[in-house]
């Protein structure tokens, strides 16, 4: 594992050198998404959309601003957020009658409308999502993609006839997450957060955590079961078959730009970042190796291959800058382009292109008449190998411990009796956080690591970002 300090220094430098973000914007914690970073984020968004559309969610877009009085309807929720919201108090020269806040998340914007939209059980389930930026006044040190004050965010909000149907939605969300993680080459753990750490207003919260190379976990997203906690204050009711008015049960599923932060943190080497082919803004870069004799032969062939790959739907770039090939390699390796094509006069004579994999550095050759298929296979191999390697590293950083003094960087698995007191003692003794009870992991008999009581409950414990 890497030390936090060394890793942080590397991270802060690489995200700017790779052209993903610019933090020189004159407000701390609000960075500019530069072209390369924004393209990567938009490709991640595209997968999100695909999964949500395929499961019958409707994309919507709610206003950014929320009136103070609507925000205050759910008490726990406002307590959870009131220290970190931005307030709009004036417009033009006027003081507003009711202050407006910038959405930190959209429950309190959406639910007054849901109350109007839902009349009968025929309107249920209501499944919506939006991809927007949210705003949180962070007081801790900010860091690109990981701790920001303006955060790119997707949030799915659903309403159901009862608790069981909401539970089915949560099961569907876990499936969506599984598919997404495969596309993104992103190992993760799911934990049902302890009560003292659940989302403001939630009945329960499942955290989606990524394990970073420092042994700390990063919460990339979360899934919440709200039960009737919001539908009661916001009066979201439907008429059931018997003509009775019932409160809906609600869930949310949110993930942020931290996904990109986790990707960069997990897939990299001394040369720079490594982007999984599915989300790389440029999947393939073509570098002409120009020789003195007949340079246009190489240039023409490169352009031909570029057109061929573009036509086939790959995201490809031809780097025809007047620079040495080695300098170009350096740039594109830094930016994590998964596959490089080198093409010189000798390759043309041999009727092949040379390809170099960003993840392994392996070079191989593909005959001209098999370029599309050969490139497709290489990208698939990179995609698959990146996930396998990351998953192995991830799995190796999860340890079972039976004595609290054994806790170390990574995810510590231990038995817990279920009492909040013992949980908080674990946190104090380890200076770590209880991530919660792992989801989809078999319980295991043992003794509470604090009080020794026999129990089957396991918890994950780690330092967090």
Residues that bind a copy of itself (CB under 8 A): 22, 24-27, 30-35, 38-39, 42, 58-65, 67, 70, 82-94, 100, 102, 109, 112-113, 116-117, 128, 133, 135, 137, 139, 150, 152
Q: Are 189 and 174 in contact (CB under 8 A)?
A: no
Residue written as tokens 């004050």? 149
Ramachandran quadrant class, 11 (left: phi over 0; alpha: psi -120 to 50; beta: rest): alpha
Q: Least Å distance between CB 156 and a copy of itself?
A: 13
* Cβ within 8 Å of residue 24, ≥6 positions away: 32
Q: Least Å distance between CB 247 and a copy of itself?
A: 20
Preceding peptide of 125 cis, ω within 30° = yes
Outline where DSSP puts E strands in 161-248: 189-192, 204-211, 217-227, 237-239, 245-247
Closer of 98 and 171 to a copy of itself (Cβ): 98
What gap in Å lies between CA 122 and CA 389, rounded to an integer? 47
Closer of 132 and 343 to a copy of itself (Cβ): 132
- Pairing verdict, β 339-344 and 284-289: parallel
What gap in Å lies between CA 321 and CA 260, rounded to an integer? 29
Closer of 11 and 135 to a copy of itself (Cβ): 135
List beta partners, residue 273: 268
Closer of 279 and 353 to a copy of itself (Cβ): 279
Residue 166 DSSP code = H
Closer of 45 and 239 to a copy of itself (Cβ): 45
Q: Which of 216, 205, 213, 219 is nearest to 145 (CA)?
A: 219
Closer of 85 and 462 to a copy of itself (Cβ): 85
* Cβ within 8 Å of residue 244, ≥6 positions away: none
Closer of 56 and 452 to a copy of itself (Cβ): 56
Q: Least Å distance between CB 90 and a copy of itself?
A: 4
Closer of 152 and 224 to a copy of itself (Cβ): 152
Q: Least Å distance between CB 73 and a copy of itself?
A: 11
Q: Least Å distance between CB 109 and a copy of itself?
A: 8
CB atoms within 10 A of CB 88: 14
Q: Least Å distance between CB 319 and a copy of itself?
A: 15
Q: Least Å distance between CB 10 and a copy of itself?
A: 23
Q: Least Å distance between CB 237 and a copy of itself?
A: 17
What gap in Å lies between CA 89 and CA 80, rounded to an integer? 21
Closer of 259 and 448 to a copy of itself (Cβ): 259
What gap in Å lies between CA 336 and CA 36, rounded to an integer? 11
Q: Are 44 and 90 in contact (CB under 8 A)?
A: no
Q: Are 463 and 409 in contact (CB under 8 A)?
A: yes
Q: Least Å distance between CB 134 and a copy of itself?
A: 11
Q: Least Å distance between CB 214 and a copy of itself?
A: 28
Q: Least Å distance between CB 375 and a copy of itself?
A: 22
Closer of 64 and 161 to a copy of itself (Cβ): 64
What gap in Å lies between CA 209 and CA 206, rounded to an integer? 9
Closer of 60 and 451 to a copy of itself (Cβ): 60
Closer of 271 and 315 to a copy of itself (Cβ): 315
Alpha helix (H) residue ranges in 132-199: 163-184
Q: Are 298 and 344 in contact (CB under 8 A)?
A: yes
Q: Least Å distance between CB 139 and a copy of itself?
A: 8
Q: Sheet containing 433-438: which strands, arranged edge to edge? A: 58-59, 126-135, 150-160, 249-256, 217-227, 204-211, 189-192, 433-438, 458-462, 411-415, 398-400
């Amino acid at each position: 594992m890497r030390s936090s300090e060394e890793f942080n220094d590397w991270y802060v430098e690489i995200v700017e050198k790779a052209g993903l973000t610019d933090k020189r914007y004159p407000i701390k914690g609000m960075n500019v998404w530069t072209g390369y970073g924004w393209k990567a984020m938009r490709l991640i968004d595209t997968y999100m959309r695909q999964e949500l559309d395929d499961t019958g969610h409707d994309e919507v877009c709610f206003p950014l601003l929320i009136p103070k009085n609507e925000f205050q309807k759910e008490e726990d929720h406002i307590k959870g957020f009131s220290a970190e919201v931005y307030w709009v108090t004036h417009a033009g020269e006027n003081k507003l009658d009711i202050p407006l806040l910038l959405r930190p998340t959209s429950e309190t914007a959406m639910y007054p409308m849901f109350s109007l939209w839902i009349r009968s059980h025929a309107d249920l389930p209501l499944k919506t999502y939006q991809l927007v930026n949210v705003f949180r006044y962070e007081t801790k040190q900010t860091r690109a993609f990981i701790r920001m004050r303006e955060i790119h965010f997707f949030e799915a909000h659903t309403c159901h006839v009862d608790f069981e149907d909401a539970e089915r939605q949560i099961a569907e969300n876990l499936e969506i997450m599984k598919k997404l993680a495969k596309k993104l080459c992103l190992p993760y753990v799911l934990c049902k957060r302890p009560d003292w750490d659940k989302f403001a207003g939630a009945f329960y919260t499942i955290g989606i955590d990524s394990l970073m190379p420092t042994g700390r976990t990063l919460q990339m997203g979360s899934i919440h079961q709200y039960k009737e906690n919001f539908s009661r204050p916001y009066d979201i009711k439907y008429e059931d078959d018997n003509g009775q008015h019932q409160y809906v049960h609600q869930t949310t599923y949110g993930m942020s730009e931290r996904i990109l932060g986790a990707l960069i943190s997990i897939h990299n080497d001394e040369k720079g970042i490594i982007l999984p082919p599915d989300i790389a803004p440029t999947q393939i870069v073509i570098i002409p190796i120009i020789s003195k004799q007949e340079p246009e032969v190489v240039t023409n062939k490169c352009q031909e291959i570029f057109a061929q790959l573009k036509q086939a739907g790959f995201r490809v770039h031809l780097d025809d800058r007047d620079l040495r090939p080695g300098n170009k390699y350096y740039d594109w390796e830094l930016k994590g382009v998964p596959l490089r094509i080198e093409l010189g006069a000798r390759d043309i004579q041999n009727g092949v292109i040379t390809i170099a994999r960003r993840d392994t550095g392996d070079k191989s050759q593909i005959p001209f008449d098999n370029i599309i298929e050969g490139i497709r296979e290489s990208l698939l191999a990179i995609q698959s190998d990146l996930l396998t390697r990351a998953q192995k590293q991830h799995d190796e950083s999860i340890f079972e411990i039976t004595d609290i003094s054994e806790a170390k960087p990574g995810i510590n698995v231990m038995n817990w009796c279920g009492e909040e007191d013992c949980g908080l003692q674990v946190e104090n003794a380890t200076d770590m956080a209880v991530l919660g009870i792992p989801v989809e992991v078999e319980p295991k008999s043992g003794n509470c690591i604090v009080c020794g009581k026999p129990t089957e409950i396991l918890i994950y414990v780690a330092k967090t970002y």
